[in-house]
Amino acid sequence: MRLFIAILLPEPVREALSELRSGLPGARWVEPEALHLTLRFMGEVDAGEAEDIDAALTAIHVPAFDLAISGIGSFQSRRRVRSLWVGLGRSEPLERLQGKAESAVVRAGFEPERRKFKPHITLARLKKTPVGHVGAYMETHGTFAMAAFAVTGFTLMRSYLNRDGPHYETLAKYPLHGP
Ligand code: ATP
Ligand code: MG
């Protein structure tokens, strides 16, 4: 099974982000209920490994914290814009939680992640969208910001890569504790 660790977003945040889901031809918008912030992607694991990851994540104890969303960015490769995302304000508690998730996964027997953590919430995947359209979209929405929201937990997610796009299932929830 294909697993990753994520922070899911509260309903009002998903609703606010839904306002960004238009005005870009060729974009495949992430369904509001699927919007998430990935802390760690493990990829394909077997049932025993999934149990070890779950046990290690259960041992994480960090206080709940607030997270601010601001700005829109993109990932590019081979001179094309591949995805659009909303960014997160720099957050020490978020980095601490991500660091703990990373160590938990390593403790469960996985290789450390080599890429630097770049927190983002993917809004859309793009196929052959002309750069001009992306530029116009950015001009309208690029400075998007909204009130901070409370992160009260994180989740172990399973991903199914279907022909009509990815589908995510929550396998386990790990509540954070009062600040
Ligand atoms: P698709 O791959 O079809 O575009 P997806 O990326 O949403 O869909 P997955 O590839 O299963 O689905 O990824 C699940 C989550 O993990 C996504 O948030 C994705 O951005 C993130 N992710 C995937 N690969 C990595 C990676 N190598 N490093 C960090 N995060 C990753
Ligand atoms: Mg992917």
Shortest-distance Cα residue to atom 6 of ligand 1: 166
Which ligand has an atom closest to residue 30 CA? 1
Global pTM reads 0.94
Residue nearest to atom 19 of ligand 1 (CA): 38
Give the tens place of pLDDT for each residue, 14-39.
999 999 998 998 899 999 999 999 99
Per-residue pLDDT tens for 82-124? 999 999 989 999 999 999 999 999 999 999 999 999 999 999 9
Q: What is the number of other CB atoms lying within 10 angstroms of the CB of residue 5?
A: 26
Distance 179 CA to ligand 1 centre (A): 30
Residue with tokens 């945040």: 13
36 is annotated as an active-site residue = yes
Could you tell me which residues come within 8 angstroms of residue 171 by beta carbon, excluding any fewer than 6 positions away? 3, 50, 54, 155, 156, 157, 158
- CA–CA distance, 28 with 167 (Å, rounded to integer): 14
**Pairwise CA distance, residues 57 & 69, whole Å:** 25
Q: Report residues whose beta carbon is within 6 angstroms of any ligand 1 atom.
A: 2, 4, 38, 41, 122, 125, 159, 161, 166
Write down how long the chain is. 179
Number of the ligand closest to the Cα of 159: 1
For the chain, how many helices (H) and strands (E)? Answer: 4, 9
